[in-house]
Structure 1
Amino acid sequence: MTWDTIQGNWPHLTGQAKFRWNMLSSADLRSVAGDRGELSARIQERYSVSPEEAHAQVQSWEDSAHSSWLF
């Protein structure tokens, strides 16, 4: 799944994001609104990781994203 698909379907994918990053609040995920940079920033903040680590986590999540997440 591409990031464009993730961004366009963000309301349907917040559960998967919450499952992956359980320290992100529902308010965090709403404010992310599918913005990749904002998601990375929230991960950095909540998990105290480097920007590179946060980016790698987001990339890994994107790579593992599956269309079945939309159902």
Structure 2
Amino acid sequence: MNWEQIKGNWNQFKGEAKKNWADLTDDDLDRIEGERDKFIGVLQERYGIAKDEAEKQVDSFFSKL
């Protein structure tokens, strides 16, 4: 699935993302707006992980959908 599809259907994906990353708040998910770079930044902030790890998690998660 590409990011244009994810961004276009972000409201549908927010619930799945919250299941996978339980520490994300509704405000975090609203702020992300389906943008990959924003998602990675929020994961870095919320979980204290490096950018490459956040990218790996995001890409792995969305490739399974």
The one-letter code of the counterpart of 1:3 is W
The answer to whether the 8 A contact 2:40-2:51 is kept is: yes
Q: Tell me how large the CA RMSD over aligned residues is.
A: 0.7
TM-score (norm: length of structure 2): 0.95
Distance 1:61 1:3 in 2: 12
Where do 5+ consecutive residues of structure 1 fail to align? Answer: 66-71
The one-letter code of the counterpart of 1:61 is F
The one-letter code of the counterpart of 1:15 is G
The answer to whether the 8 A contact 2:3-2:35 is kept is: no
TM-score (norm: length of structure 1): 0.87
Aligned residues: 65
* 1:42-69 CA-partner distances (Å, limit 9, x unpaired): 000111100000000110011111xxxx
Distance 1:62 1:7 in 2: 12
Where do 5+ consecutive residues of structure 2 fail to align? Answer: none
- Does structure 1 residue 35 correspond to structure 2 residue 35? yes
